[in-house]
Structures are given as C-alpha cells and as structure tokens.
Amino acid sequence: MTGFVLRRVAGTVPVLIMTSVLVFLLMRMLPGDPITLILGESQADLGAAQIAAMRHQYGLDQPIYLQYLAWAGRTLAGDFGRSALSHQPVWDVLAPRILPTLQIGLIAWLLAVLCAIPLGAVSARAPGSWQDWLGTVVTMTGAAMPYFLIGGVLIFLLALRWGWLPASGYVPLTEAPWQSLRSTVLPAITLSLSLAAVLARQARSSFADVLQRAHVRTARAKGLTERQVMLRHVMRNGMLPIVTILGVQLGTLFSGAVVIETVFAIPGIGRLLVDAILGRDYPVVQAVVLLISVAVVFANLAVDVVYGLLDPRTRQG
C-alpha cells in the first residue's frame, strides 16, 4: 500500500507543474498592464524611464519563461506577490478567506453524502416503486435548480419568514462556534443539493448493478438479512463510482462557492475571486485560481488512495 501511495504522489508532481504553467500563462493573457494596475492614478506623475525601471524591478522585461521560473520560486516559498488594490501581501488577503469556504464546503459535502447514499440505496432496492419515483423527482429537482434560486428560496423561508437562521453574513468559528455553524447552514444546504442529486443518481445506478450480481444472491441464500446484504456486500462494492464523483465534484464546490458566497455575503474565497476579477487584481486572481487547482489535484489523489483501499486490485501494476 505504501508503494501505491508513493506512486500516486509522484504522479501528481507533473500535474501540479502543468497546472502552475497554465495558471501563469492564463493570467499573462488577460488584458491590462500589471504596472498600470500597480501605479494607478500615480502613473501620470511618472516618466517613461521610471515606469521602465519599475517594469525591470518586477521582472516584467524578462522572457516569459524566466518570469515563470521566478514566480514559481516565490510561490513555493509562500510569496504570492502583493495585491494591486490593497498593496498587501496576497497571502494576508487570502488566508482569512480560506476558513469560511472550507467550512461551508465540508458541511455541504457531509450533508450530500449523508442524504444521497441512503436515498440511492432505497431507490436501488425497490426500482420502479414510489420510493424510487420520489427519489428521482427530488434529485432531478435538486440538479435542475440553480444556486441563486435555491439560496433565495431558503433565505425567504428559513431566515425571513420563520427566522430560524441568519439570512447572510459569517461569524468566525474561533469566536462563536455555534453562531458560526448557524451562519453557514443555509449556504451549505444550497451548495449540497446539486452534489447530492448527482451522488444519489450514481448511488442508485451503482447499487442496483451490484444487487444483480451472483455474490449478492449467494449472500441472500445463506440467510443474511437485507440490511446485512446492503452493508457488507452492496455498499463496499458499489462505492467506487461514488468516490469518483466525490473527487470530481470538489471543483463544483469551489465554483458554486463563487455564487453562494455572493448571495449570502460570505467573506470566502469565492467572493474574493469575484471582487478581484471586477477590480482587475490579477495577483489575487492568480493565487486563488492556483489554490483551487491544487485543491482539485489533491482531491483526485485522495480518490486514487481510497480506490486502493476499497479495491486491492487497483494497487497492482
């Protein structure tokens, strides 16, 4: 198992390098001059020689590959540059925004798993029944509704009409844990519905396929209850496609956070990305996109490792 994990970790290195190259090049292709963004209105008071000196100071007069190597070296050291808007180090701007997004994403992921897998199992055990029909309607509705519509309905019902939860804002987890959880419930539910819909349909398909296999019929013939058959034989063998969906959907969690954090006024990474794009703050945009890309790469690494635990055959070769 150790060799399998080490091979998977080594395989992520070229992926991370290629990801960093793409992020760097995409930021360089965006319109606008970084020096113009840094100087702002003070550019009119500087001459061409001073602007050229600043361009040399930031290394923008060097070939593109040297710029990438310099940027990659600073990034590995934890230096993402300075924000063009606030002139603060990018990491100081980014670090406080990680916890709200991470908290909402983990709660949404947990809610989706806890709801989708039992729903998929019930539908798979009774295909064509009213439970299967109801599960199909619920999952299709969750998949079809956009985030802003779900969020608006939840705000109106749970926050404004009934007053159960706050409509917007965020309380740091370190200051008031209970209030922090209450402030993230609505965004997490909104984010989890789309993921739960996809997971439930995949779980139903996967579990229904395993239920038709010979070893399940043998387990039933031995006298095992339906609960024991589902837990011991169906769940374990049917989880591989579901694990894949969980890894792939991490990118959806981050993309959904862009909309949800704007709707619920959450000071997270998604809202920071929107503000940075609107303000043309390219260093912050570059750091956020790189962080999300690296998170997705490591999520796929985790999926590979879980695959090895669930199915020993994947560790061969």
Kindly tell me if the per-residue pLDDT of 31 is higher than 70. no
- How much is the pLDDT for 301? 78
- How much is the pLDDT for 316? 58
Tokens representing residue 211 in the block: 């239920």
Residues 116 and 47 in one domain: no
- How much is the pLDDT for 72? 85
Residue 42: domain span: 2-84
Residues 11 and 125 in one domain: no
Tens-digit pLDDT profile for residues 3-26? 766 777 777 788 888 888 888 887
With beta carbons less than 8 A apart as the criterion, state whether 124 and 204 touch: yes
Residues 14 and 62 in one domain: yes
Kindly tell me if the per-residue pLDDT of 196 is higher than 80. yes
Which residues in 244-258 are b (16+ Cβ under 10 Å) and which e? Answer: bbbbebbeebbebbb
Tokens representing residue 285 in the block: 């945009």
* Confidence class for position 39, pLDDT limits 50, 70, 90: low
* Confidence class for position 125, pLDDT limits 50, 70, 90: confident
Cα(199)–Cα(243) distance, rounded to whole angstroms?
A: 9
- How much is the pLDDT for 261? 83
Residues 53 and 143 in one domain: no
With beta carbons less than 8 A apart as the criterion, state whether 127 and 196 touch: no
Residues 123 and 167 in one domain: yes
Lowest mean pLDDT among 41-55, 110-124, 209-223, 224-238: 41-55
How many domains are contained in the chain? Answer: 2
Residues 58 and 104 in one domain: no
Lowest mean pLDDT among 25-39, 57-71, 250-264, 287-301: 25-39
Residues 144 and 282 in one domain: yes
Instruction: Write down which residue in 65, 84, 103 finishes a domain.
Output: 84
At 191, is the secondary structure helix, strand, or coil?
Answer: helix
- How much is the pLDDT for 46? 62
CA–chain centroid gap for 14, Å, is 21
Residues 162 and 141 in one domain: yes
- How much is the pLDDT for 43? 59
Mean pLDDT of 268-282: 82
Kindly tell me if the per-residue pLDDT of 217 is higher than 80. no
CATH of the domain at 111: 1.10.3720.10
Residues 7 and 43 in one domain: yes
Instruction: Write down which residue in 38, 55, 84 finishes a domain.
Output: 84
With beta carbons less than 8 A apart as the criterion, state whether 195 and 188 touch: no
Instruction: Write down which residue in 84, 114, 143 finishes a domain.
Output: 84
Cα(272)–Cα(39) distance, rounded to whole angstroms?
A: 21
Residues 276 and 137 in one domain: yes
* Confidence class for position 222, pLDDT limits 50, 70, 90: confident
Residues 202 and 225 in one domain: yes
Residues 163 and 123 in one domain: yes
Position 236, amino acid:
R
- How much is the pLDDT for 34? 66
